[in-house]
Amino acid sequence: MKLLTKTTALYLAFSLLVFIAGGLVFYQIIKSIVYSKVNESLITEKRIIEQQILHAGYIPDFTLYFEHQIEVILYNYPKMEWNTRYEAITDTMMFDSTENRIVPHRHLVVKNNTRNNRSYSINIFISTIDYQQVVVDIFFALLIMFISLLLVLVSVNYWISKKVWVPFYNTISRLSLYDIQKNQPLELPQANVREFRKLNTVLTQMSQKIQKDFINLKEFTEHVSHETQTPLAIIKSKLELLIQTENLGKEQMQLIQSVYESAAKLSRLNNSLSLISKIDNYQFEKIEDVDLNLITEKNLQTFQALINHKEIEIIMEVNENKCLQMNPDLADILISNLIINAIIHNIQKGKIFINIGSDNLLIKNTGNDPACDPEIFFDRFKKARGSDSPGLGLSIVNKISDLYHFHVKYSYTEGYHVLCLDF
């Protein structure tokens, strides 16, 4: 949900609650005012009738005069205790001949004694149907006014908010188009709201620092990769010359061989880390159609000597010629790492099945049970126990897959290590 939509929805919900509560309170106030007027009318009529009874001593017919039902009873004996009086106003339902139905009435009852040991009771009934209709009409008129006012307020609030938040959305749009690879500064539009100006300033400063750090990291990676290759090559060449030296003992040869293998491993590690860094920094920009079948066959030929050494049987199935839109160097690295992984972690006289489908690449090889949790195979420097690999092969595969939004998954089923790459 957009911020503008959310704020408008919250404003609408809060306004509805306020208007509903205000409407109910207003209804009760109007009802109270109308009933107070009815009560005043009842009390006035009651006083007139009481004065007539107390002074004249008889009961006149007030029904036609007041135009509603009045019952007055005069007793020749006292029915109430001396100096006591009963008076109350209540709501009741009665039949109204003019309406020809039972309607709500306001009922006033008075019981009292006269001075000459007589008593009387007065019952006055006033229909409130007309008054209630007035209250309902007023309520609905105000309800329509409130709803209209609410719609106007919400529309105006939405329009104002949309105008006010334009600089924010412009900033978001510029940020979404910003590419750190282009080595261009982040240019944000000017805003006339102080908070948005401050936000743009902070984002600009942050982007400049990120750009600077990115360039420094990129240069550092390139320098480290370049500068370490030369001493490593010198170390390897010197060790090769030393191995060819005569009069070396068996123990000395083993030590030199161990150093040579460590230097070779360090060289491979340096190349792998440099490659991962370049992938992370999006330095492989060239994109073209890559023939997956051709690259797979080429890598199988490259590793043919190692395949023959372990007497591995290769079974390859191609359902269709598959082409991928990606960098050709990364495609070659991706396939070569998958194949070399299947060879290294295979058994003597094992098998490798390769299946190229329309939407995936499946490589499975015979091998022992994984010695560690398969979930860590795609992490850096995680490797199977006993392997001399630096543990970066599948990490590189995972990096390339993430770059092109592929999905790589591993499983071990019925003696086979299975790697499936979904395009």
**Rounded-to-integer distance, Cα 42 and Cα 61, Å:** 16
- Examine residue 237 and state whether it is found in any structural domain, yes or no: yes
Question: Domain holding 342: CATH number?
Answer: 3.30.565.10
Q: Are 102 and 93 in contact (CB under 8 A)?
A: yes
Q: Is 248 exposed, middle or buried (0-12, 13-18, 19+ CB in 10 A)?
A: middle
Same domain, yes or no, for 205 and 353?
no
Q: Are residues 310 and 274 in the same domain?
A: no
- Decide which of 280, 305, 331 is a domain's last residue: 280
310 and 258, same domain (yes or no):
no
Residue 183 lies in a domain: no
Considering the domain boundaries, does residue 382 fall inside one? yes
What is the residue-level pLDDT of the chain in tens, covering all 423 positions?
666 677 777 777 887 788 788 778 877 887 788 778 888 888 887 887 777 777 766 666 666 555 577 788 787 777 767 667 888 888 888 877 766 788 888 888 888 887 777 788 888 888 777 776 777 777 788 778 888 888 888 888 778 777 887 888 888 888 888 877 677 788 888 877 888 888 888 888 888 888 888 777 777 777 777 677 778 778 878 777 777 777 777 787 778 777 877 777 777 667 766 776 777 666 667 788 888 888 888 888 888 888 888 899 999 888 777 788 888 888 888 888 888 888 888 888 899 999 888 888 899 899 888 766 555 566 544 444 444 443 466 777 888 888 788 888 888 888 888 888 888
- Any domain includes 320: yes
With the CA atoms of 257, 263, 269 and 275 taken in that order, what torsion angle do they form, in degrees rounded to the nearest 10? -130
- Token output for 389: 């690999």
For residue 375, the number of C-alpha atoms closer than 13 Å in the C-beta half-sphere is 1
Distance CA 292, CA 309 (A): 26
Q: Cα(406)–Cα(188) distance, rounded to whole angstroms?
A: 34
Which residues, at least 6 apart from 54, have a Cβ–Cβ distance to it below 8 Å? Answer: 114, 115
Residues 358 and 260 in one domain: no
The packing angle between helices 328-344 and 393-403, to 10°, is 140
DSSP class of residue 94 equals: E
Domain match, 210 and 321 both: no
Q: Which of 112, 145, 161 is the last residue of a domain?
A: 161
Q: Would you report the helix, strand and coil content of the chain in percent, each value rounded to 5?
A: 55, 20, 25
Same domain, yes or no: 70 and 95: yes
The three-class DSSP label of residue 100 is: coil
Do 13 and 143 reside in the same domain of the chain?
A: yes
**Does 210 share its domain with 252?**
yes
Has residue 184 been placed in a domain?
Answer: no
Inside any domain, residue 116: yes
Give a yes or no: residue 245 inside a domain. yes
Task: Note whether residue 176 is domain-resident.
Answer: no
DSSP 3-state assignment of 298?
Answer: helix
Q: Are residues 144 and 90 located together in one domain of the fold? A: yes
- Is the domain of 211 the same as that of 155? no
Q: Tell me, what CATH number does 275's domain have?
A: 1.10.287
From 111, 139, 161, give the residue that closes a domain.
161
- Could you tell me the pTM of the whole model? 0.48
Q: What does the angle CA 349 – CA 350 – CA 353 come to, to the nearest 5 degrees?
A: 140
Kindly state whether residues 298 and 257 are assigned to the same domain.
Answer: no
**Helix crossing, 250-280 with 393-403: angle to 10°?**
10
DSSP for 384-417 reads -TT--S-S-HHHHHHHHHHHTT-EEEEEEETTEE
Instruction: Examine the domain organization and report whether 100 and 157 are in the same domain.
Output: yes
3-class DSSP state of 302:
helix
Contacts of 401 (CB under 8 A, 6+ apart): 334, 407, 408, 421
Q: What range does the domain containing 403 cover?
A: 288-422
Count the domains in the chain. Answer: 3
**CA dist., res. 218 & res. 280, Å (int):** 10
The token pair at 414 is: 């019925």
